[in-house]
Structure 1
Amino acid sequence: MTRVGVLGATGAVGQRFIQLLSSHDDFEIAALTASSDSAGKPYKEAAKWRVDTPIPDSVADVDVLETTPEAVPNDVDLLFSSLPSSVAERVEHGFCEAGYVVSSNSSNERNAADVPLVIPEVNADHLDLIEVQRDERGWDGALVKNPNCSTITMVPTLAALDRFGLDRVHVSTLQAVSGAGYSGVSSMEILDNVIPHIGGEEEKMETESRKLLGEFTGSEIDWHDVDVSASCNRVPTLDGHLENVWAELDDDPTVEDVFAAFEDYAGQDLPSAPSPLIETFEEPDRPQPRLDRFLGDGMAVAAGGVQQTPDGVQYNCLAHNTIRGAAGASVLNGELLERDGWL
């Protein structure tokens, strides 16, 4: 068993990490960290548990540690980070310098030139950037990121369509409130309402997508030249980001060609990887968050509503934003790091 830890274990994504890791066949939770206010308390007291399954017995009485390299046992092989980006940018480097490999959901440094931004089914080879990172930074550890929850919903479908020549992408998102954290959007803001702006979200989708779809040259990532424009909206859905995508393509595929591209797109042989990666619906009103967010145990991407347009295709896609879009994505990256010998 690989011994792992969770940085920021008491927050919303940290709790989802606990849920996913507590029953994992290959990972054993060996360390939980949080703020100094929580350090020293049993996890069941430090975390206001909000996940839809009971708090696992295996962690309930485990004492929470300070989020410092000195506090974490040195026999921990892999750390999962769900820290707020403002905290992560201060502390993640310290863990990497101390020799820990960090699979991080935090948004800081996703677009840094020497930091792999990875969706295993899309760009697993980008992990080779770790060698460049270690050479440049002098680390024994490593820092790997997964993308933003809205980006990770769309990019596997774009990767499947790239065979037709991606030219330009427009996306409008309908994002669940859980993406803002438990206290991120008040009920008075979101009930009977839609908020047509999520700070920083459009930029993340527009940049992270191009890095993920890029090619590793041996020393750097050559970003994809697709032009991505995003409009991000918060809607009164608990979980599951639904996205309307317009993809302009060099070729002129039929609807049947697009469905085949989605259905044939290869997954990964990893414990948390869904099969298939992209589940398709011919119905024009699918996917829907309440019906489809738990496909593939919350790790699949759903796609449907495919229509031809004068320049390409329009379709809808959906993924569970705190499983596939956050904690599950980091766990999947951790499984890839283990399988490919980076731990």
Structure 2
Amino acid sequence: MTTNVGILGATGAVGQRLIQLLDPHPEFEITALTASESSAGEDYRDAAKWRIDTPIPDYVAEMEVRATDPTYVPNDVDLLFSSLPSSVGEAVEPKFAEEGYVLSSNSSNFRTDEDVPLTIPEVNADHLDLIEVQRDERGWDGAIVKNPNCSTITMVPPLAALEEAFGLERVDVSTLQAVSGAGYDGVTSMEIIDNAIPHIGGEEEKMETESQKLLGSFDGAAIEWHDVDVSASCNRIPTLDGHLENVWADTSDDVTPAGAAEALREYPSIDLYSSPDQLIRVFEEPDRPQPRLDRNYDNGMGIATGGLKETTHGINFNCLAHNTLRGAAGASILNGELLLESGYI
């Protein structure tokens, strides 16, 4: 038996990735699509400018796009995946939760709210139980669960492995982020070809705060954020997909490259459909991982690491993940699988 799901913001870049990933999913069936008022009433094939390298599923192409309002979403939808712009999500996601819908959202709004779970299932699945606090405080029958920013989600699983083995004191990160992370209209070719842009608005703050929340501990009532000091510098480069990040981690205990590599390799995955068997791959080659070669590790849902070097106070390493798969649509679906497994839908 499959679970009926809907997609809020289905015509955008992440919405299209959600359709691509959900079409063959054994646990979920797409039964509702929403977009802006200008697209409402159209067939999906007419409303969306499809840019994914696989065809629109026939049944999806023929589905009518609905307005993004609880009034127009069928009651038999059990789970909503939200890929709305944050300004829209901030306004409408609570309305859906009030009406009893459970949302697994990629939108950046509410990520750091004290009663909203921000989860990477392999890292902090227990934070999902913050839903109970959220429902009590807000009087909702539904719930909102968030996945992190695409750059945060690349770095945090390796950091979680290092924290567990050696403790974390400070993290510095410099990112080399793909243009797809800005959306189809985010960066023009004239801006990015033969260039790099050393600023991505709001990205650094997201990495610095979301990491502390994700690495924090949940006591059943609230999350105690991790006190690790995180400093980020975010850069846009002319790769299509795959965020590459250079990370310097100061650890509480002494660490060697060999010890860090062992901790990364042995960090456990989780028994969910979309999670890799081995979450973190460690390359021995000094010039890996690379976006073009390694972004699709384990269907784009794995984290690739390499370049481990000992520093004065810890370890330096590189990490890479596919930003629209593991970092966006795939992350939301993985949270949806966790919601289903945990009995929240």
Work out whether the TM-score is over 0.5.
Answer: yes
Aligned to 1:280: 282
Aligned to 2:136: 135
The CA distance in 2 between the partners of 1:129 and 1:205, in whole Å, is 21
How far is 1:58 from its partner?
2.2
Aligned to 1:115: 116
Kindly tell me the number of residue pairs found equivalent between the two proteins.
Answer: 343
Aligned to 1:195: 197
How far is 1:217 from its partner?
1.2
Tell me the TM-score normalised to structure 2 length: 0.99
The CA distance in 2 between the partners of 1:165 and 1:340, in whole Å, is 29
Aligned to 2:154: 153
The CA distance in 2 between the partners of 1:280 and 1:51, in whole Å, is 29
1:69 partner amino acid? P
The CA distance in 1 between the partners of 2:219 and 2:148, in whole Å, is 20
How far is 1:250 from its partner?
1.2
Aligned to 1:318: 320
1:272 partner amino acid? S
How far is 1:53 from its partner?
1.0
SS at match of 2:304: strand
The CA distance in 2 between the partners of 1:275 and 1:241, in whole Å, is 21
2:145 corresponds to 1:144: yes
Tell me the TM-score normalised to structure 1 length: 1.00
Q: Deviations over 1:208-233 (max 9, x none)?
A: 00000000011110000100000000
Percent identity of equivalent pairs: 71
The CA distance in 2 between the partners of 1:297 and 1:280, in whole Å, is 16
How far is 1:203 from its partner?
0.2
Q: Deviations over 1:19-67 (max 9, x none)?
A: 0001100100010000011111110110000011111112011010110
SS at match of 1:70: helix
The CA distance in 2 between the partners of 1:8 and 1:91, in whole Å, is 11
1:98 partner amino acid? E
2:22 corresponds to 1:21: yes
1:187 partner amino acid? S
Q: In the alignment, is the contact (CA less than 8 A) between 1:79 and 1:100 conserved in 2?
A: yes
1:296 partner amino acid? D
Residue of structure 2 aligned with 1:291, choices 285, 290, 293: 293
Q: Deviations over 1:70-117 (max 9, x none)?
A: 100001000000000000000000000000000000000100000000
The CA distance in 2 between the partners of 1:58 and 1:294, in whole Å, is 27
What does residue range 214-229 of structure 1 map to in structure 2 within 5 Å? 214-229=216-231
2:180 partner amino acid? S
How far is 1:10 from its partner?
0.1
The CA distance in 2 between the partners of 1:305 and 1:255, in whole Å, is 9
2:241 partner amino acid? D
Between stretches 91-100 and 57-66, larger displacement belongs to 57-66
Aligned to 2:44: 43
1:210 partner amino acid? Q
2:306 partner amino acid? G
Show structure 2 runs of 5+ residues with no match: none
Aligned to 1:57: 58
The CA distance in 2 between the partners of 1:34 and 1:12, in whole Å, is 12
RMSD: 0.5
Q: In the alignment, is the contact (CA less than 8 A) between 1:267 and 1:277 conserved in 2?
A: yes
Show structure 1 runs of 5+ residues with no match: none
What does residue range 84-123 of structure 1 map to in structure 2 within 5 Å? 84-123=85-124
Q: In the alignment, is the contact (CA less than 8 A) between 1:22 and 1:58 conserved in 2?
A: no
